Amino acid sequence: MDIAVAGSHGFIGSALVTDLAARGHAVRRLVRRGTGPDRSRTADDDGASRVTEAGWDPAAGQLDPRVLEGVDAVVNLAGAGVGDRRWTAAYRRTIRESRTRAGGLIARAVAQLGSRPALVQASAVGYYGDRGDEPLTESSAPGDDFLAGVVRDWEDAAAPAADAGLRVVHLRTGIVLAPHGGALARLLPLLRLGLGGPLGSGRQWWPWISLPDEIAVLRRAIGDDAAGGPVLSGPVNAVAPGLVTNLELTRALAAGLRRPAVVPAPAFALRAAIGGFAAELLASRRLAPASLREAGFTWRHETAGSAAAWIAAGPRRAVPPDPA
């Protein structure tokens, strides 16, 4: 397959490109360098001639549709990190616009193509807002807080592709667990020192997924035949079936590292330290992966304990290959 990836140098994007290239797929990385197909070149850092780069400029609304000619799927993972900075008014605009501009630009570009690639659009469990103990699936109504509004607008930006009859997948991803990077980049060093603990009450439900399973879900969404099972469409909760609270997940990770998890971070301290993003860490989403179950998806890490054992003993750089 020939797959274009935006946001390809991020935590998930880098792992996805490495995985796809290792499986023999051609990958076109969309990078903010130049704006046309004539700028494509081999990405030497991947060590694979099947990975190339093509330029675009989402802030300026520039993406030559010819860059995407012949692709089988486009994966859009682009967007400013929600936990990277305090949520000032300016950064709130950046969070929203970095997603809606990139998503809309890609959707309009693929809608113009003579071919019919799939569009796999990143999304987030923030779509549901803070819902306490309410059971949630893909058919549940959206939330009404800031991030829920961002995610709704993010998904709506893909409308031109859906209106053109293309298969569009909105991957509502939970907390991605890995031995390196992602949501655990700050927490794991504390846990290894025995200084980790629950955030707030710890009773909030935290939907999560391991990095290998996230990549496997992306491959299924792309339509990789080797991924097995039916392809995905519409909203998909990319989370593990073994739903746990923040306290249970923290304890599982600490146990995997053979460390205690007894130092809590009170809600007021989180709000004072990181501002608006604290609401996300304290939000509760009792989320089920209904679409993945219906599609017969098989998780490598179904439980937090399984993921914690992999994190404690697993690789520090690469996603291990699927056992096959």
pLDDT along the chain (324 residues), means of 10: 95 96 95 61 52 94 93 96 88 95 96 93 96 97 96 97 97 94 79 83 94 96 83 96 94 89 78 77 95 96 95 62 44
Question: HSE of 224 in the Cβ direction (CA atoms, 13 Å)?
Answer: 24
Q: How far apart are CA 113 and CA 117, in angstroms?
A: 8
Does residue 106 come out as left (phi exceeding 0), alpha (psi in the -120 to 50 range) or beta?
Answer: alpha
| Structure confidence at residue 272 (pLDDT) | 75
How, if at all, do strands 73-76 and 118-124 pair? parallel
List, in order of start, the domains of the chain with CATH numbers. Answer: 2-177+208-240+286-299 (3.40.50.720)
76 forms bridges with which residues in the sheet?
6, 121
Q: How far apart are CA 173 and CA 76, in angstroms?
A: 13
